[in-house]
Amino acid sequence: MGFTCGRFPSSRSVSRPLTDKIRTRRQSGGILTAADLVARLSRVYAAVGGVFVADLSLFEPKVVESESGTYIVQDFSGGLNQAQLENLLLQVIHAIANLRDNVAKWADQRGVEFDPKAFVHASGELALVHDLSNGDKHGHPLKTSWTGHSPTVVEVSRSLRLTTGDTGEVAIATFGAGIPQLSGSGRAEVVVSGRVVDTETGVEIGDAAAICDAALAHWESQLTDLGLL
């Protein structure tokens, strides 16, 4: 099964508060409101903000002086250990996966047409996110799978990624004693990611951060169609 991964966003942000973009009429009696979904989506974006970091000023290098010379050590971990990096990525995976039940409940309470199973199957990346979330919660092998795989994320790390859009764009990062400098028309982000592999076959499926990005873009399109964005 092949998956087409989306772009890496320079940042996941909204030009104005989400509450200004939606219908926020509150209802009583246990009804899930649009404002409830906004709060959940805001938590998704907050989690994504820890995985895709565009502010390179947060990652100043360490200058080491010794008798043999001066050395510059550039570390993009931000002081986080392995478990903390993995937790950042898993927070995004679970937050995206948890949207399905909430949006389905909101739609059902209003008689709005929304097939959550068909919606997940329409995006290979979103289906992978659900399998990754279920695998982390329940372990492997998965009893049921959205993708036919039993995927997990391995070799999680945090690194600088340079991306370009149109043909002819260039992105160049220069390292020195200060903050890394970006030149050209491309983008630079410090990204937490890892390889997504099938735990049973060892087949490599894709890049975790790119998969999450594409899955979230699929949700954004659907939420716009539902009038929630």
Which pLDDT tens digit goes with each residue over 44-69? 999 999 999 999 999 988 888 888 88
Would you state the pLDDT for residue 20?
Answer: 44
CA–CA gap between residue 129 and residue 133 (Å, rounded): 6
Phi-psi region of 68 (alpha: psi -120 to 50; beta: other; left: phi over 0): alpha
76-97 average pLDDT score:
96
Contact 70, 61 (CB under 8 A): no
175-200 average pLDDT score:
89
Extract the runs of DSSP E, i.e. beta strands, from the chain: 52-53, 62-66, 69-73, 151-163, 171-174, 181-184, 187-198, 204-207
Give pTM, 2 decimals.
0.82
Would you state the pLDDT for residue 211?
Answer: 97
Q: Is 90 exceeded by the pLDDT of residue 11?
A: no
Residue closest to 31 by CA, chosen among 99, 98, 111, 110: 110
What end-to-end distance do the CA atoms of the chain give, in Å? 31
Predicted confidence band at 71 (pLDDT cuts at 50, 70, 90)? confident
Which run of H or E residues covers position 210?
A: helix 208-225
